[in-house]
Structure 1
Amino acid sequence: MKNILYYIIALLAGVTLSIEGTIYAELGESIGKLESSLYNFAVGSIILGIALLFLGKGSLSYTFKAPKWQLSGGLLGVIYLTILVIGIPIVGVGLAMSSVVVGQMVMSMIIEHKGWLGSPKIKVKKEKIIAVALMIVSLVLIY
């Protein structure tokens, strides 16, 4: 039962990503694409800063000691959101978000198969490959 709750939360995260991408793509049309991404991260930083004051239990000062590759997430987040801000008005929300999911599935299978980035090694099964192939077919059909 506990796992089902995590799956539901992950599905809700996907829902919010589609909404967020669409909102910031529209904002990008109003104020500029890079400005829209900057606004997202500035507001997000303020909200997280406030949450950190009340709920933070980690050690932000460890950031300077952490391995540099672990700090690349911020850069990847900026790239991800900026691509969506630029791409959604061109290809639409459905194709953009479907492409994101396919990209996530392919890369997550590679990461798990190789055991990269601290992930446990999980061999790729033929069922996963078939599922991703079907997702790629769905991209073609959506386009």
Structure 2
Amino acid sequence: MKILFPLLAVLGGITIAIQGQINGGLGKKVGVIEASFISFGIGTLALLFIVLFAGNGNISAVTSVPKWQLIGGLLGAIYVIVIVLVVPQIGVAPTLVGVILGQILIGAVIDHFGLLGGVRIPLDAKKIAGICLLFVSLYLFNHK
């Protein structure tokens, strides 16, 4: 059972790679912002049906959460716009190396300081070395 969540994370990564190529192609046809809007619109409809038929939370509790917790959708929109813009220029793999570097870099900062309500997990030499290797990977994937 310990492997379930890491495997789900891999599945999430697979869907992001496929989504990047699909949205990048859509952006070439309809425009970057328009493709992002279409992607979010379809995603919103899908989530509406999931909430209606499988949701078991309390959506009305949204009024009691700290307001900063509501910017996730905005951050997701920025991500989708960046992917739609960048994938057609450099490809899926180099784009995702940059995305992963950004995720790991800010994730390490969030963990190190326990930001945004997270648990404090200090940086160590191995994690810093891993981040440096991701920078090398970003260079290698984008150097021609």
TM-score normalised to structure 2 length: 0.95
User: Residue 3 of structure 1 aligns to a residue in which SS?
Assistant: coil
Partner of 1:38: 37
AA aligned opposite 1:48: L
1:10 aligns with 2:29: no
Superposed CA deviations along residues 75-122 of structure 1, whole A, max 9, x for unmatched, are 000000100100111121111100000110000000000101111000
1:138 aligns with 2:137: yes
Q: Displacement, 1:26?
A: 0.2
Q: Displacement, 1:3?
A: 2.1
Partner of 1:98: 97
Distance 1:20 1:75 in 2: 18
Superposed CA deviations along residues 33-89 of structure 1, whole A, max 9, x for unmatched, are 111111111111111111111111112122222211100100000000100100111
Distance 1:60 1:72 in 2: 16
Partner of 1:71: 70
Q: Equivalences for 1:22-33 in 2 at 5 Å?
A: 22-33=21-32
Q: Equivalences for 1:53-132 in 2 at 5 Å?
A: 53-132=52-131
Return 5+ residue gaps in structure 2 as ranges.
none
CA RMSD of aligned residues (A): 0.9
How many percent of aligned residue pairs carry the same amino acid?
38
Distance 1:4 1:48 in 2: 26
User: Residue 110 of structure 1 aligns to a residue in which SS?
Assistant: helix
Distance 2:69 2:2 in 1: 27
Distance 1:140 1:124 in 2: 23
